[in-house]
Structure 1
């Protein structure tokens, strides 16, 4: 449902909006379904202008059919895939993070969610030379750690500094500020096509649950509405600007004691892809070992799992497969 407002289309002035609202015409649906001649008389506006306005709004907001082949070709030409910087995790994601989609990392404290966000940011900024918008809701961003990861990729101080400049950090600590930040990005910064030079390829929210979970349940009656507003803004950013959106979430346990992503059933439909991160609790295992389990995907079989090491690896270790990673299916 699209509300009528000044500037929504040519000819829709503030006076016109007020006149229409006076006759209970508040949305595009109300206007296009109304009798133009009768409405023109009631609102004391030009019948010709009203008909022209209805035609423009119909053209802008009517869904036109498109063939599956055309849709597929558009998808191939517009989709970008961003590597996470961790080869085993890229396998789970069918090569990496897809633009136009929301990917979620879920896990308990210390499972490596923020570390993986850093890896995505560093890889996008350094390897792809593209901008990253990093929204930090829990104070977890550490410039020193980002620099350390860049130093492992290049010894050039100039390249390190350029990559750091491509990572733009926003600090927000409540859901209202998060909403304002996302809305400003969608209506201002991202509309310009670039932020500080170069295009934006990834938006990271670490973590979305830190500011949403506190307004859900109890007497917080508006919590669900706020959560879905955040979901809407993230989806629009991903879709309208062809950006890969990565969010992190906490975990809870279901009735059987199995770990699941937090924020409830409504939020579970928001991400297109979800990965569950856990520590490796085997005797003698390194403290930096983690498992990544694919729990939701439209491209891969779910419940695939990869084991990887969070500690920094040299390029030779990655190429030779010395990280001790293995792939298996938890259904087996």
Structure 2
């Protein structure tokens, strides 16, 4: 049975452009990929069509038991986020400026148990001194906690996409990452037209979902 291109996790724009160029089914893409116009870029094609590996219910249960919740050190907030910050999932924190989203991210970074955090800062709000204050207050070994937090700055769309792409080669040698944070995904994209912004966000989320599933981070 031929799988239609429209069933894939691609933006409507890319699907429409592929169809206009005669690509309606997955086998069309595989057999004639060299004829796809260069402007139509589908870098993650193999991951879109590969069947996911299966796991038994027991394996999934063991993974769930093994997963240690990430704490914010605020009991009321931990209760709200208990089932939201989980491996293989992307969680969005939204709110008006100044409502504490970055502070929650800092607390979560410090609260990763037996693992590491990869923090992509896009709005130049990464305050290492604030992380130090949180670590000094909340954990017994401040220096060890800070050593487990990796940070990169990505202040424009190109840098943001490059940072996500970088993870593909970086994560295999850093398989203790349990949390990835982008603060914030909207900031470097705010000047882009709506359709382009939506396409970029879709691409980033698609890549993150693949990585989160493979490396089991939240």
TM-score (norm 2): 0.71
Q: Could you give the per-residue CA deviations for residues 135-189 of structure 1, whole angstroms, max 9, x where no partner exists?
A: 100111111111111111246xxx211211111111010122111111110x211
Question: Alignment partner for residue 188 of structure 1, among 169, 185, 194?
Answer: 169
1:88 is displaced (CA, Å) by 1.1
Whole-angstrom distance in 2 between the partners of 1:149 and 1:94: 20
Q: Which runs of 5+ in 1 are unaligned?
A: 2-23, 35-56, 245-332
1:224 equivalenced with 2:198 (yes/no): yes
CA contact (8 A) 1:84 1:97 kept: no
- For structure 2, the residue ranges without an aligned partner over 5 or more in a row are 4-21, 32-45
The alignment partner of 2:91 has SS state of strand
Identify the residue that residue 177 of structure 2 maps to in structure 1.
200
Q: Do residues 214 (structure 1) and 194 (structure 2) align?
A: no
More helix by share: 2
Asked if the contact 1:102–1:235 (Cα under 8 Å) also holds between the matched residues in 2, the reply is: yes
Q: Deviations over 1:221-276 (max 9, x none)?
A: 533221211111221121111101xxxxxxxxxxxxxxxxxxxxxxxxxxxxxxxx
Provide the residue aligned with 2:144 in structure 1: 162
Deviations for 1:294-320, whole angstroms, at most 9, x for unmatched residues? xxxxxxxxxxxxxxxxxxxxxxxxxxx
Alignment of 1:166-177 (within 5 A): 166-177=148-159
After TM superposition, give the deviation of residue 132 of structure 1 in Å.
0.5
Structure 1 residue runs of 4+, over 6 Å off? none
Residue 24 of structure 2 corresponds to residue 73 of structure 1: no
Structure 1 residue 212 displacement after superposition:
2.4
User: 1:205 Cα deviation (Å)?
Assistant: 0.5
The match for 2:124 among 116, 126, 139 is 139
Task: Please provide the CA RMSD for this pair.
Answer: 2.9
Q: Which has the higher contact order (CA 8 A, sep 6+)?
A: 2
How far apart in 1 are the matches of 2:153 and 2:166? 14
Q: Retained in 2: the 8 A contact 1:83–1:96?
A: no
The answer as to whether partners of 2:84 and 2:91 remain within 8 angstroms in 1 is no
The SS at the match of 1:150 is helix
1:235 aligned to 2:212? no
For the Cα contact (< 8 Å) 1:174–1:211, is it kept in 2?
yes
The structure with more strand, counted as a fraction of residues = 1
SS of residue in 2 equivalent to 1:214:
coil
Check 1:230–1:163 CA distance in 2 against 1; reply closer, same or farther (3 A cut).
same
| Closer, same or farther: CA 175–31 of 1 in aligned 2, 3 Å | closer
* Alignment partners' CA distance in 1, 2:52 and 2:164: 26
The change in CA–CA distance for 1:146 and 1:63 in structure 2 (over 3 A counts) is: closer
CA 1:97–1:31: 2 relative to 1, 3 Å: closer
**CA radius of gyration, larger in:** 1
Question: Aligned equivalents of 1:145 and 1:233: distance in 2?
Answer: 30
Alpha-carbon shift at residue 104 of structure 1 (Å): 1.1
Residues 133 and 203, structure 1, Cα contact 8 Å, conserved in 2: yes
| Alpha-carbon distance in 1 for matches of 2:89, 2:58 | 17
* Aligned partner of residue 82 in structure 1, secondary structure: coil
Match of 1:61 in 2: 50
Which whole-Å CA distance do the structure 2 matches of 1:92 and 1:154 have between them?
A: 21
